[in-house]
Amino acid sequence: VIEVEKGPGNTVKLEFPSRPENVGFARTAVAVFASQKDFTLDQIDEIKVAVSEAVSNAVIHGYKETSGVVRVEAELDDGGLTITVGDEGPGISDIDWAMEPGRTTEPGRMGLGLVFIKAYMDEATLFSAPGAGTRVRMRKNLTPSENE
């Protein structure tokens, strides 16, 4: 087994108000950033959907009646891309519940956001607690993992 040592990552940070019109900005910005590495076009499309879902969740659930800051951090390393999307909203009390397909607190929505994130990214973890905001961290490997 050859251990490949990963070089220092290249990181960008975005901060913007939780407006729906910024969802498109965030996914495009991350996609352009990711294009520095040899992701396939399909992988870039998948990254765009995942970022779109995570930022939409922050806008819809993080700041339902209010407005706040959404933070997106993207880090490229030799193996792929790690993205963190965070809000300072009310948080989620039951993360396992929220991760299940079809779960939503908003009438008229499908509960598909996290399903897409899980399907399109190689790893996805939700960090949240009531009153502590929500962060989703997701990872796209340059070489697709087995479950793709």
The residues of the shown chain that bind other proteins, judged by CB under 8 A, are 19-21, 23-24, 27, 42, 45, 48-49, 52-53, 56, 59-60, 108-110, 112-113, 115-116, 119
Least distance to other proteins, CB of residue 62, Å: 13
Least distance to other proteins, CB of residue 51, Å: 9
- Cβ-based nearer residue to other proteins, 97 or 131: 97
Least distance to other proteins, CB of residue 103, Å: 12
Cα–Cα distance measured from residue 138 to residue 78, given in angstroms and rounded to the nearest whole number: 16
At a CB cut-off of 8 Å and minimum separation 6, what does 123 contact? Answer: 137, 138, 139
Least distance to other proteins, CB of residue 18, Å: 11
Cα angle 92, 24, 69 (rounded to 5 degrees) comes to 45
Q: Which residue has the tokens 């607190």?
A: 105
- Cβ-based nearer residue to other proteins, 79 or 111: 111
Q: Among the options 22, 27, 46, 53, which is catalytic? A: 53
- Cβ-based nearer residue to other proteins, 81 or 114: 114
Q: Among the options 22, 27, 57, 139, which is catalytic? A: 57
CA-only gyration radius of the chain, Å: 15
The 3 state secondary structure assigned to 98-122 is HHCCCCCCCCCCCCCHHHHHHHHCC
- Cβ-based nearer residue to other proteins, 19 or 64: 19
Asked if 53 is an active-site residue, the reply is yes
CA dihedral 90, 87, 98, 74 (to 10 degrees): -170
Residues designated catalytic? 53, 57, 109
